[in-house]
């Protein structure tokens, strides 16, 4: 695995998408993580902003939700809390903001930055990748640490997801990319 590639955990909250009351789509007959084992105790999407609107069999609709993100610090299996990812549906796609709060030199600091953007055509792939596993293509990816490109972003980055068990809980991870 490329050392510059950082793995991000999208907390198991995403797997609850398929069980949300307002969420109906063709994903339901593909199965979800909720059928495959234990989930972390992060609450439901409705507790965290939830999905809203009606969904047809072709389109998944939501307005905004948040999930906690973890960063794999090293290959020893050590994970740290990275922050909260806010996923917001915009008119032409999806935008994300990563809110990070931590201490620097003993003082509590925080910042927020765009993590990646997804065009309308990729919204369903994004939700499928977050609920089942798969991949989605970002229109702009700003990254984290060594991958970070805060000026222009990386265009056309494909992010793949997979299921990992961390501390006896299943999580969706960003496990790699293709540019």
pLDDT, mean of residues 151-179 = 75
Q: For residue 144, name the pLDDT band (cuts at 50, 70, 90).
A: low
For residue 23, what pLDDT is reported?
A: 35
Quick count: other Cβ atoms within 10 Å of Cβ 87?
Answer: 23
Bridge partners (DSSP) of residue 10 are: 69, 172
The 10 Å Cβ neighbour count of residue 167 is 8
Find all residues with CB under 8 Å of 103, minimum gap 6, and list them: 109
**What is the total residue count of the chain?**
179
The predicted pLDDT at position 2 comes to: 38
pLDDT higher than threshold 50 for residue 9: no
Tens of pLDDT, residues 90-133: 877 778 888 877 766 777 777 777 778 888 888 888 888 877 78
Annotated domain spans of the chain = 8-178
Q: Looking at the whole model, is its pTM more than 0.75? A: no
| The predicted structure's pLDDT at residue 163 | 79
Nearest to 94 by CA among 112, 134, 113, 121: 121
**CATH architecture entry for 8-178:** Roll (2.30)
User: In 3D, which of 83, 76, 64 has the Cα closest to residue 10?
Assistant: 83
């Amino acid at each position: 695995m490329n050392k510059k590639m950082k793995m991000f955990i999208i907390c198991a909250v995403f797997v609850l998408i398929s069980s949300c009351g307002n969420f109906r789509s063709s994903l339901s007959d593909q199965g979800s993580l909720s059928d495959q084992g234990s989930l972390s105790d992060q609450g439901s999407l409705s507790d965290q902003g939830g999905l809203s609107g009606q969904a047809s069999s072709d389109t998944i609709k939501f307005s905004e939700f948040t999930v906690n993100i973890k960063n794999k610090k090293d290959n020893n299996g050590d994970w740290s809390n990275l922050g909260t990812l806010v996923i917001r549906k915009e008119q032409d796609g999806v935008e994300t903001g990563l809110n990070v709060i931590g201490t620097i030199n003993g003082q509590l600091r925080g910042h927020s930055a765009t993590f990646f953007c997804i065009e309308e055509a990729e919204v369903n792939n994004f939700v499928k990748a977050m609920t089942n596993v798969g991949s989605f293509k970002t229109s702009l990816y700003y990254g984290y640490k060594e991958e970070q490109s805060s000026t222009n972003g990386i265009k056309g980055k494909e992010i793949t997801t997979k299921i990992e068990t961390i501390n006896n809980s299943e999580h969706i991870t960003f496990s790699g990319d293709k540019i």
